[in-house]
Chains A and B, each alone.
Chain A
Amino acid sequence: MILYLVLVVGLIIAMLAGPYFLGRRRVSRAVNEPYECGIVPVGSAQYRVPIPFYLFAIFFVIFDLEAVFLYAWSVAVKEVGWAGFIEALVFIVILLVALLYLWRMGALDWRTTRQKRDRARVQPR
């Protein structure tokens, strides 16, 4: 095990140190480009995306992941019987409550703040 550790550390050091000594260093603008030998990028990579995109991405990941657990249940649905059913039910209910909460919070509303404000101006409640 110690030998293994030494090998690992040694390999890493060798890999990092090798290019440092062997490689030729040249300083020019092109070196710092993301794609040194490809299409020249246009504009900034840091542009602003509306926040609902981000939220939706997160929701998708969360609910998708949670749904994966149901696959595990579906494989063993006969073996776990009613107890498993109840447990899965509890799980689904919690997911539903979470979805309800998000819905009521307005997190599923596909509009920017400005759009919401505009609509409120058009149709005053």
Chain B
Amino acid sequence: MTIEELIALVPLLVVASISVILMLVVSFVRHHRLISLITLAGFIAAGIMVFQSMGQPAIQITPLIILDDFSRFFIVMTCFASVPAVLLAYDYLRRSEDLKEEYYMLLSLAVLGAVVLAASNHFASFFIGVELLSVSLFAMVGYMVHGEHKRVSTLEASIKYMILSGVSSSFLLFGVALIYLNFGVLTFEGIQQKILNGTLNGYGMMGIAMLLIGVGFKLSWVPFHMWTPDVYEGAPVPVTAFLATISKVIVFALGLRFLHESGALGLFNVQAALAFIGVLSMLVGNGLALMQDNLKRLLAYSSIAHFGYLIIALIAASSASATNKALAMEAVGFYLVAYVVTTWVAFGALSALSQPEHGIEAENLKDYRGLFWQRPWLAAIFSVALLSLAGVPLTAGFIAKFYVFAAGASYTLWFLLGILIISSAIGLYYYLKVIMEMCKPAEDENDFQKAAIPFENKLILLVMTAFVLYLGISPQALIESLNSAIKVLM
């Protein structure tokens, strides 16, 4: 390992060292704010370091890790999107009775997993990243199980997630093994050469299918989505938000890199399977969300649908024309960023009304009744998030959806686009239903809407809402940086 490689690796090492440092600190002092500040500082430092190195040539560090603009883009996104995860958790944990400090160790390990995933182009690091991320998440989902006011569904969610995630990991690992059996290599690019040589046989195909299943589980694509609503509902809000944003987005980015670099995306069968999954995800996700009156479940279903939409851009990324391919990849990148930002706003609003000290989260639709009259700003911000999720113009969600549409149209995926339109129409209904609920006159005294919103939560809401609107009104800056990020994949 040369010095240059070591320097390039520093941000990853910083993220990795956070958990060790936290363990040391916790061994001697238990100070919630200190611990959260260390975590925060680590994420921000790593994010800034990687941001600084954007545009530099790609560096392959050992066969496992690659740092090119694509991975840098997603590492930066992970690090900065983890900042609200820390802030929200700080605010949530402070008001709950459980042990607080260990959460940050788990969080930093999960972020390390995400960062490794973003920088992986080898199956070993792929698997390590996925497992780091998921194993930390098992514990995070079931983290707050102590205390007088614990929420009963937390442990159930954790166990469900652990078992199902175990099933999916076994698919993943078996898939990797089958691929190795077929090709004898574990790097993504090595596979591409083998496929071009014509060495692909049934084992390799089955391996790719199993990888799709493993990835599909993490992304909660239908029909691997069954865990999503229960886990979203059971997990504490900060964990749900992390699960919904970073863990999914990074797996998708890696899926794009794998499918693209290995050349598997060009295979007709893979596209057929993806299209099948996409149609199901769009329809089933929106169909399940339709009459849902638990907001966490609703957001779970909506995330299923959103990753269904993304499949359109994913398939379009196999286009032979360079411009169309770039368009599709930009669409994926933009959609992921828009989705993360919007989801943070939504969960920030959810958290603002929750009362962990009483073991209550504002997850029922009726808790939001009359919010516009009680807290107009919060209601407006939440509406912005919902409208962005629905894809209404002047929000980030609209540009993202438009991009996906343009990408799909350039690859003439008319059937999928038809499903996109139908399911978006269904989606509009349940997003607007929540806004309608907030507009209705307040029925009686609603305790949820009375409590003061902590500073950290306000900060997240304001910054992320600003991003949603900024990306909706002037998306060009992000598009340009995406442009350079995807160049390495072309």
A and B, direct touch (CB closer than 8 Å): yes
Q: Does B23 contact A (CB under 8 A)?
A: yes
A83 — nearest CB in chain B belongs to which residue?
B1
Among B24-32, B111-119, B235-243, B477-485, the stretch that binds chain A is B24-32
B1–A100 contact, CB under 8 A?
no
In B2-31, which residues have CB < 8 Å from any A CB? 20, 23-24, 26-28
Docked complex: B183-210 residues within 8 A CB-CB of A: 202-203
What's the tally of chain B residues with a CB closer than 8 Å to chain A?
Answer: 9
Mark interface residues in A93-109 (1 if CB within 8 Å of B CB, else 0): 01001101101110000
Complex interface: chain B residues within 8 A of A105 (CB): 27
Most chain B CB within a 10 A radius of its CB, from A83, A100, A103: A100
Min CB–CB distance B143 → chain A (angstroms): 16
* A101/B1 contact (C-beta < 8 A), A1-B202, A94-B20 known: no
A residues in contact with B24, CB < 8 Å: 97, 100-101
A101 touches B23 (CB 8 A): yes
Q: How far is the CA of A50 from the CA of B151 in the complex (A)?
A: 26
Across the interface, which residues of B come within 8 angstroms of A97, CB to CB? 20, 23-24, 27
Alpha-carbon distance A55/B23, docked complex (angstroms): 18
Q: Do B27 and A100 have beta carbons less than 8 Å apart? A: yes
Nearest-neighbor residue (CB-CB) of A2 within chain B: B202
Contacts of B202 in A (CB 8 A): 1
A104 near B27 (CB under 8 angstroms)? Answer: yes
CB contacts (< 8 Å) of A94 on chain B: these are 20
Residues on the B chain within 8 Å of A103, using CB: 27
CB distance from A65 to the nearest CB of B (A): 15
Shortest CB distance A66–B (Å): 14
Which residues of B in the span 21-62 have a Cβ within 8 Å of any Cβ on A?
Answer: 23-24, 26-28
- A50 to B202 alpha-carbon distance, docked (Å): 51
Question: In the bound complex, how far is the Cα of B109 from the Cα of A94, in angstroms?
Answer: 14
Within 8 A of B (CB), among A69-125: 83, 94, 97-98, 100-101, 103-105
Tell me the minimal C-beta distance from B98 to chain A in angstroms: 15
Contact A104–B28 (Cβ < 8 Å): yes
Q: Which of B20, B28, B203 has the most chain A CB atoms inside 10 A of its CB?
A: B20
User: In whole angstroms, what is the CA distance A45 to B1 when docked?
Assistant: 55
Q: How far is the CA of A101 from the CA of B24 in the complex (A)?
A: 7
A83 to B62, CA, bound (A): 14
The distance from the CB of A14 to the nearest CB of chain B, in whole angstroms, is 24
Q: Enumerate chain B residues within 8 angstroms of A104, measured Cβ to Cβ.
A: 26-28
Cα(A98)–Cα(B20), bound, Å: 8
Query: In whole angstroms, how far apart are the Cα atoms of A100 and B28 in the complex?
Result: 10
What CA separation (Å) do A83 and B26 show in the bound complex?
30
- Give the docked Cα–Cα distance between A105 and B293 (Å): 42
Q: Which of B23, B202, B203 has the most CB of A within 10 A?
A: B23
Interface residues of A (CB under 8 A from B): 1, 83, 94, 97-98, 100-101, 103-105
**12 new A-B pairs (CB below 8 Å) besides A83-B1, A100-B24, A101-B23?**
A94-B20, A97-B20, A97-B23, A97-B27, A98-B23, A100-B27, A101-B26, A101-B27, A103-B27, A104-B26, A104-B28, A105-B27
Between A and B, 21 residue pairs with Cβ closer than 8 Å are A1-B202, A1-B203, A83-B1, A94-B20, A97-B20, A97-B23, A97-B24, A97-B27, A98-B23, A100-B23, A100-B24, A100-B27, A101-B23, A101-B24, A101-B26, A101-B27, A103-B27, A104-B26, A104-B27, A104-B28, A105-B27
